Structure 1
């Protein structure tokens, strides 16, 4: 459906699910020779000259759109959604959509289904293009730029957004299944309401000519690395766009994915690396795993920078837990005022007066108490300073 306030259109295009025999995958490396090869020639539709570029469906085995036998309709789609429910196996150029845009009016496209289509060109709203409840199945968005386009409650299944660019766009409430993305997916002032679901849906295919464990592990750790790179792009975009909660959720996803990607690469080097790389993989994996645990614990302490109240609650819990330990545990020198002791140490006040040289067990508990309090204070002050000084 296209237009403003229009009803649902009927469709004459058949829906074929899973008929292309695609191998789920995603882009990691740019093969310039295949990515920039031009085919399909110049075609003419509605008086507009358009040209399809690339050969990704045939060459990019790591993408979910991969299908060596795929044949694209040579006639570019004219964006006439009045006569059917959506195109099937069509080249969808941005040039034809421009004719349907009235400056100053929002172009609304509702309940349309795009099946195995290639989107190319600059899709630019004036002021915006709204896709609502649309479905994209096995579509390739490479070589497309989307400006001021909003996707609301749309479904993306087995699609690729590698080599696509989004500027001033919003993707709210969209669902994702088997998505191909790459480190060259560009986001500028673009908001994604559920980046975690998008990352979880990202996949990587495997070369059918390389059915080896080494190749599978290589694709596995490269997938994690690309996820981390893409999340950094999302995080930078969310720093100036969208709400605070989604921004800090993206920070969490990025930090955990980055450390997880390092552990995955260490695991690959440990199994398939050369002599020196294999020897260094073990300590590197331990350090990166330790870093992953530290980031998870400290990130949870302040909701990854979102909450300054959580550390204060943690200080209260620290006071209560160690106060209970001082009052209930058996020490060589019984603690006369356990709750006051816990209060003083938690606030880092007069710790030197609490030292008991002849009771190593009590000294060890007090040292642990001080260490926990220092960590909580560090997170608290860092969170407050960051929130006060960070420019949104």
Structure 2
């Protein structure tokens, strides 16, 4: 059975991103001539400036009577994709494994149930693209363009959402921005807002479709990104001179929240680990117990005192007006860390049980 001709006549890319979308990672200021190409990569492991469509994939799989389509170790450079890539066009699953996508445009495409395993996306544009029920497992990301309203990810799992979010790109070239009546501060503010939107979407998807590592990674990403977005917005308004006092305190509050939430999150691996806060609690008890034992010259009594105060069961028994102010301060510090630890451990246990149920 013959396979349809891979290479067809040159066409102009239907995307204006390279020539007009100055904020996009694909932007070069000029259009790109592409040649339509089929999906047989036997003699071409590095397709360059080619257009790949769902229609040609359908023709290819039908001609070979394939029950699934798998693309492995292919490097797409300055390529565009077009159409709806679903199980209908491949007669089964569509999988990309260890493929590289460089300066590729996914705009105008729909991908349903497609798996991307250990692929790399560099300076790719996902605006106007939809990925439904897709999996991106251990993929690498660099300078990708997203749109909070035009990039759709319904029920799509990304195993490393932190790297996906941090790779989001916007053009910060001052000369280009000035020609378009904007500036780097505004673009950064908009970018952080877009990243916050996607962090919330990825968390929602990971709740029902991801494994434990993906879920807690998404939780960490969302908590941090929402605060970063708030900090960047207030910083931009300070730059414009709006509500200086209010925005100044809001900015400081956001930075403080980022610091505290990361310290707290690290104590229980963002809710994933019960063992870590348990070990920290025992370490606190031992540390303060040995310290009290050294001060009182009785380590057995010191360990008991460290347990009482850290676990908040005997703080009032040991803290009274007869002890020095220095000891009262030490007891207070011990009780504070004990309370903080307790407030982390108990919700972590409840959350883990709730997740399992």
Name structure 1 gaps, 5 residues minimum: 4-11, 14-44
Are residue 304 (structure 1) and residue 299 (structure 2) matched? Answer: no
CA positional deviation for 1:288: 0.9
Are residue 191 (structure 1) and residue 157 (structure 2) matched? Answer: yes
Return the alpha-carbon distance in structure 2 between the equivalents of residues 214 and 156 of structure 1: 28
Residue 91 to residue 336, structure 1, CA distance change in 2 (3 Å): closer
- 8 Å contact kept, 1:112–1:133: yes
CA positional deviation for 1:158: 1.2
Return the alpha-carbon distance in structure 2 between the equivalents of residues 391 and 104 of structure 1: 39
Question: How high is the TM-score relative to the length of structure 1?
Answer: 0.78
Partner secondary structure for residue 204 of structure 1: coil
Task: Point out the structure with the larger helix share.
Answer: 2
CA positional deviation for 1:176: 2.2
Give per-residue Cα distances to partners, 1:356-376, cap 9 Å, x unaligned.
214222222222222221221
- After the TM superposition, which of the residue ranges 52-61 and 211-220 deviates more from structure 2? 211-220
Give per-residue Cα distances to partners, 1:16-75, cap 9 Å, x unaligned.
xxxxxxxxxxxxxxxxxxxxxxxxxxxxx79xxx997552222211111112212333x6
Return the alpha-carbon distance in structure 1 between the equivalents of residues 251 and 105 of structure 2: 36
Summarize the alignment of residues 296-375 of structure 1 with structure 2, pairs less than 5 Å apart: 296-329=262-295, 337-358=301-322, 359-375=324-340
- 1:159 matched residue in structure 2: 124
Return the alpha-carbon distance in structure 1 between the equivalents of residues 229 and 30 of structure 2: 34
Question: How high is the TM-score relative to the length of structure 2?
Answer: 0.85
Number of aligned residue pairs: 343
Q: Which runs of 4+ in 1 moved over 6 A?
A: none
Return the alpha-carbon distance in structure 1 between the equivalents of residues 316 and 74 of structure 2: 71
Are residue 123 (structure 1) and residue 113 (structure 2) matched? Answer: no
Return the alpha-carbon distance in structure 2 between the equivalents of residues 164 and 344 of structure 1: 58
- 8 Å contact kept, 1:143–1:163: yes
Return the alpha-carbon distance in structure 1 between the equivalents of residues 38 and 313 of structure 2: 74
- 1:202 matched residue in structure 2: 168
Are residue 270 (structure 1) and residue 254 (structure 2) matched? Answer: no
Return the alpha-carbon distance in structure 2 between the equivalents of residues 114 and 336 of structure 1: 68
- 8 Å contact kept, 1:120–1:141: yes
Summarize the alignment of residues 1-392 of structure 1 with structure 2, pairs less than 5 Å apart: 54-73=15-34, 76-82=36-42, 84-85=44-45, 87-101=47-61, 105-125=67-87, 126-184=91-149, 185-206=151-172, 208-211=175-178, 215-274=183-242, 276=243, 278-329=244-295, 337-358=301-322, 359-390=324-355
CA positional deviation for 1:236: 1.5
CA positional deviation for 1:330: 8.6
CA positional deviation for 1:221: 2.6
- 8 Å contact kept, 2:18–2:32: no
- 8 Å contact kept, 1:161–1:181: yes
Partner secondary structure for residue 131 of structure 1: strand
- 8 Å contact kept, 1:91–1:119: yes
Partner secondary structure for residue 367 of structure 1: helix
- 8 Å contact kept, 2:12–2:31: no
Return the alpha-carbon distance in structure 1 between the equivalents of residues 299 and 316 of structure 2: 15
Return the alpha-carbon distance in structure 2 between the equivalents of residues 335 and 317 of structure 1: 15
Give per-residue Cα distances to partners, 1:78-126, cap 9 Å, x unaligned.
4343464454333332222223345882211223332222222211134
Return the alpha-carbon distance in structure 2 between the equivalents of residues 389 and 64 of structure 1: 41
Partner secondary structure for residue 145 of structure 1: strand
Return the alpha-carbon distance in structure 1 between the equivalents of residues 296 and 170 of structure 2: 56
Residue 346 to residue 209, structure 1, CA distance change in 2 (3 Å): closer
CA positional deviation for 1:304: 0.3
